[in-house]
Amino acid sequence: MGEPSTELIEAIRFGFFAEKGNSKGVFGKKIILEIKKALLAGKIKPGEPFPTIHQLSEELHIPAKIAFQVISSLMAEGIIEIQDGGTAMKGIPPSSPMLRSAFLGNEAEHFAIAARFLGIKEAEVIDTLRSYWI
């Protein structure tokens, strides 16, 4: 199995560091979310080699314990799998309601916080969402 692509690491790193105020307690969850988002967006593909614990730890400057937790969680969810020679992206099952709900819930929370901060009313938020739904 080959080395993880630079695109995979960059997709994770960009989303992970784009949000200010991360605390160590949410590092693993944030990394997992960024991996899922990158998969959904097509930035990383099923079958692509996934970083080892050491590579993930080194590239993202996180403790190996957190890298292990990320990999363990992704394996438990069926998003990555062990193959001959390493670990690879398996993908996100399109029929996973729990995963879709968790992903959407996180995005919705950020959207709602930003809207409240800007003083935008609920009706305007809904209208804006509808305009993108088409």
CATH number of the domain to which 51 belongs: 1.10.10.10
Q: Please indicate, yes or no, whether residues 129 and 77 belong to a single structural domain of this protein.
A: no
Q: What's the pLDDT at 115?
A: 87
- How many Cα atoms occupy the beta-carbon half-sphere of 95 within 13 Å? 0
- Which residues fall within 8 angstroms of residue 36, CB to CB, at 6 or more apart? 79, 92, 99, 103
Domain that holds residue 67: 6-89
Q: Please indicate, yes or no, whether residues 50 and 114 belong to a single structural domain of this protein.
A: no
Task: With a cut of 50, list the residues of the chain below it in pLDDT.
Answer: 18, 20-22
In a domain, 1, yes or no: no
CB 74 within 8 A of CB 80: yes
| Residue 80, beta-bridge partner list | 89
Q: What's the pLDDT at 22?
A: 47
Q: What's the pLDDT at 20?
A: 45
